[in-house]
């Protein structure tokens, strides 16, 4: 069932070389501002982390907050839609390295590298070093991993805890030691504090254990762990959210809206499948898609009773991400990185089928050429798609935010006639109020005494612009008008 973990020198050299190259790939453009695809996640968690350092964990009740500028605790705008561990980790990184984009990104990068090591150990334990090395290459060099493996969000961190849990689950099945069950519980706790996907991990492990392992171990303790952990954390999360917000309605509405099409996103099942298929081709490459399809057919035809347990782990790696995107279709429709947890499935199946090709083609030269051609084509597609993602930048108003900071003090409140995006707000770092009309301005300014108002004149507000122009001095910058009040 399992192979021994004895790693030799040549294997170690290749393994380390791959890890070093992947680390460099994850660090590509690490210092860039929050202008890339889904960089709003990085800006958001950086905001949460900075507020922890500014106001303290006690005053913020150890809960992420959206606020900018000087505030009082009673006015904290709490964020409880996701578990808080990522914000804690980024806060720790800010404390050590200072507040920078790169010091936020270094958190998921570190966890991604550790996840690679665990993934390698899991695959080597089940299928040996050749499959492990090939799987490592296929997983690590996909555009999905190289780009989203450094995204400041819960995916990269949870992937580490995901592999950590699976590794000690396998170790428990080998040796049946109590310490492995304790380690699984600790890993589960950290997983639940990191991402909602931990619930799917519990379900997938429960299903796998009941079908493939319980008849062998006759141990009911893992069943209780896998079943009771999600129930316990559901209760704890509910108590936490209620204590912070005073109600669960906002979170319940958010969960319901993620289950399927809603007012803002209308799509059919066919639309969903087509979109996800195209995303998979791009983020995992067409080569891995072909190898995976080929591999699934091969495994179904060639599966033996001796290897049945090992193949069940592949099914396990497919089940968790499948639940993730099907149960929360609206979230998967909005965010292509919801496919992130398919990484081990595509990598392992592709590696397995490559070895099957090698064994089928008895002539070593032909098999080597064939395998090398597939790998080279995979690298070409990965390289092209990876840089395609990086070259696409969102046009945020970063320079506007920096200009506002130069013209105002941290405790000032400013007005805008437009919504400030999450990435822009990171650079703004001022309390702001959106003003839609002249009447709103007069009412708000009488109470709050705004120090500055920034107007984008091409989006209406003619009466407001006319009044401000006659009453205050102003200047134009990047198509915006700055009125000093």
DSSP 30-62: TT--S-STTTHHHHHHHHHHHHHHHH-TTTTTT
Among 23-27, 252-256, 285-289, the range scoring the smallest mean pLDDT is 252-256
Q: Label residue 282 by pLDDT band (50, 70, 90).
A: very high
* Residues 123 and 348: beta-carbon distance below 8 Å: yes
3-state secondary structure of 212: helix
- Condensed to tens digits (0 to 9), the pLDDT of residues 167-193 reads 999 999 988 889 999 999 999 999 999
Domains of the chain: 9-391 (no CATH), 398-484 (3.40.190)
476 phi/psi in degrees, rounded to 5: -100, 140
- Condensed to tens digits (0 to 9), the pLDDT of residues 238-276 reads 999 888 888 888 888 877 877 777 767 788 889 999 999
3-state secondary structure of 483: strand
- Condensed to tens digits (0 to 9), the pLDDT of residues 362-413 reads 667 777 788 888 889 999 999 999 999 988 877 667 888 888 888 888 888 8
Tell me, what's the pLDDT at 458? 64
Half-sphere exposure of 378 (CA within 13 A, CB side): 26
* Residues 413 and 69: beta-carbon distance below 8 Å: yes
Tell me, what's the pLDDT at 102? 96
Share of the chain above pLDDT 70, in %: 94
Tell me, what's the pLDDT at 405? 85
Cα–Cα distance measured from residue 47 to residue 31, given in angstroms and rounded to the nearest whole number:
17
Per-residue pLDDT, averaged over 454-467, amounts to 77
Tell me, what's the pLDDT at 435? 87
Most confidently modeled of 134-143, 203-212, 245-254, 448-457? Answer: 134-143
Structure tokens at 457: 């004149």
CA distances for 237 relative to 161, 192, 231, angstroms: 19, 10, 10
- Condensed to tens digits (0 to 9), the pLDDT of residues 308-347 reads 777 888 989 999 999 989 888 888 888 999 999 999 999 9
In the DSSP assignment, the letter for residue 292 is H
Tell me, what's the pLDDT at 252? 83
Cα–Cα distance measured from residue 134 to residue 120, given in angstroms and rounded to the nearest whole number:
10
Share of the chain above pLDDT 90, in %: 46
Cα–Cα distance measured from residue 356 to residue 353, given in angstroms and rounded to the nearest whole number:
5
β-bridge partners, 480: 477
- Condensed to tens digits (0 to 9), the pLDDT of residues 36-86 reads 888 899 999 999 999 999 888 888 889 998 887 666 666 788 888 889 999
Angle separating helix axes 308-327 and 101-127, nearest 10 degrees: 150
- Condensed to tens digits (0 to 9), the pLDDT of residues 134-151 reads 999 999 999 999 999 999
Cα–Cα distance measured from residue 357 to residue 158, given in angstroms and rounded to the nearest whole number:
33
- 329 Cβ contact list (under 8 Å, min separation 6): 258, 259, 260, 261, 272
- 226 Cβ contact list (under 8 Å, min separation 6): 202, 203, 205, 206, 209
Tell me, what's the pLDDT at 305? 53
Other CB atoms closer than 10 Å to residue 288's CB: what's the count?
28
Q: Strand pairing of 452-455 and 480-484?
A: antiparallel
- 199 Cβ contact list (under 8 Å, min separation 6): 192, 230, 233
Tell me, what's the pLDDT at 83? 92
Structure tokens at 345: 């499935």
**Would you list the DSSP string of 408-441?**
S-TT-EEEESSPPPHHHHHHH-SEEEE--SHHHH
Residue 466 host element (H or E)? helix 462-471
In the DSSP assignment, the letter for residue 485 is -
- Positive/negative CA dihedral, 212, 217, 219, 225: negative
pLDDT of 6 higher than 60: no
3-state secondary structure of 197: coil
Tell me, what's the pLDDT at 103? 96
Tell me, what's the pLDDT at 483? 87
CA distances for 50 relative to 46, 56, 98, angstroms: 6, 9, 10
pLDDT of 23 higher than 80: yes
Sheet of 480-484: strand order equals 431-434, 413-416, 452-455, 480-484, 474-477
Q: Strand pairing of 474-477 and 452-455?
A: unpaired
- Whole-structure pTM over 0.85, yes or no? yes
Q: In angstroms, how far is the first alpha carbon of the chain from the final one?
A: 74
User: Nearest-5° angle of CA 349, CA 353, CA 359?
Assistant: 150
pLDDT of 2 higher than 60: no
pLDDT of 444 higher than 90: no
Mean pLDDT rounded to a whole number for the chain? 87
């Amino acid at each position: 069932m399992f192979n021994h973990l004895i790693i030799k020198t040549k294997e170690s050299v290749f393994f380390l070389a791959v890890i070093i190259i992947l680390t460099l790939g994850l660090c590509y453009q690490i210092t860039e501002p929050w202008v890339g695809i889904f960089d709003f996640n990085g800006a958001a968690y950086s905001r949460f982390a900075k507020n922890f350092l500014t106001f303290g964990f006690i005053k913020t009740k150890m809960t992420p907050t959206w606020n900018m500028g000087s505030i009082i605790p009673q006015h904290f705008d709490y964020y409880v839609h996701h578990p808080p561990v990522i914000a804690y980790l980024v806060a720790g990184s800010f404390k050590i390295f200072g507040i920078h984009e790169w010091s936020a990104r270094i958190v998921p990068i570190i966890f991604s590298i550790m996840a690679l090591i665990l993934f390698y150990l899991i695959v080597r334990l089940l299928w040996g070093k050749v499959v492990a090395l090939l799987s490592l290459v296929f997983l690590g060099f996909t555009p999905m991993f190289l780009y989203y493996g450094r995204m400041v969000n819960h995916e990269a961190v949870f992937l580490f805890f995901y592999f950590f849990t699976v590794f000690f689950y396998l170790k428990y099945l080998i040796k049946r030691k109590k310490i492995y069950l304790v380690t699984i519980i600790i890993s589960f706790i950290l997983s639940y504090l990191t991402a909602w996907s931990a619930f799917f991990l519990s379900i997938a492990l429960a299903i796998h254990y009941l079908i493939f392992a319980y008849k062998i171990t006759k141990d009911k303790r893992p069943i209780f762990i896998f079943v009771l952990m999600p129930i316990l954390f559901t209760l704890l999360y509910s108590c936490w959210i209620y204590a912070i917000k005073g109600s669960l309605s906002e979170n319940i509405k958010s969960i319901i809206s993620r289950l399927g099409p809603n007012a803002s996103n209308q799509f059919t099942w066919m639309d969903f499948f087509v979109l996800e298929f195209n995303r998979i081709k791009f983020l995992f490459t067409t080569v891995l898609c072909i190898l995976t399809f080929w591999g699934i057919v091969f495994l179904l035809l060639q599966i033996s009773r001796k290897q049945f347990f090992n193949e069940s782990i592949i099914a396990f790696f497919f089940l968790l991400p499948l639940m993730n995107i099907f149960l929360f279709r609206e979230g998967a429709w909005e965010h292509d990185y919801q496919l992130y947890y398919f990484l081990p499935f595509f990598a392992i199946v592709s590696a397995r089928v490559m070895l099957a090709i090698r064994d089928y083609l008895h002539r070593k030269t032909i098999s080597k050429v064939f395998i090398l051609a597939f790998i080279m084509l995979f690298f070409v597609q990965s390289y092209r798609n990876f840089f395609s993602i990086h070259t696409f930048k969102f046009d945020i108003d970063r320079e506007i935010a920096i200009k506002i900071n130069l013209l105002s003090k941290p405790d000032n409140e400013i007005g805008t006639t437009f919504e400030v995006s999450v990435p822009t707000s990171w650079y703004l770092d001022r309390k702001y109020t959106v003003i839609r009309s002249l009447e709103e301005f007069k009412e708000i300014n009488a109470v709050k005494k705004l120090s500055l108002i920034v107007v984008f004149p091409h989006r209406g507000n003619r009466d407001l612009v006319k009044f401000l122009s006659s009453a205050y001095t102003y200047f134009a910058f990047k198509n915006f008008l700055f009125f000093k009040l």
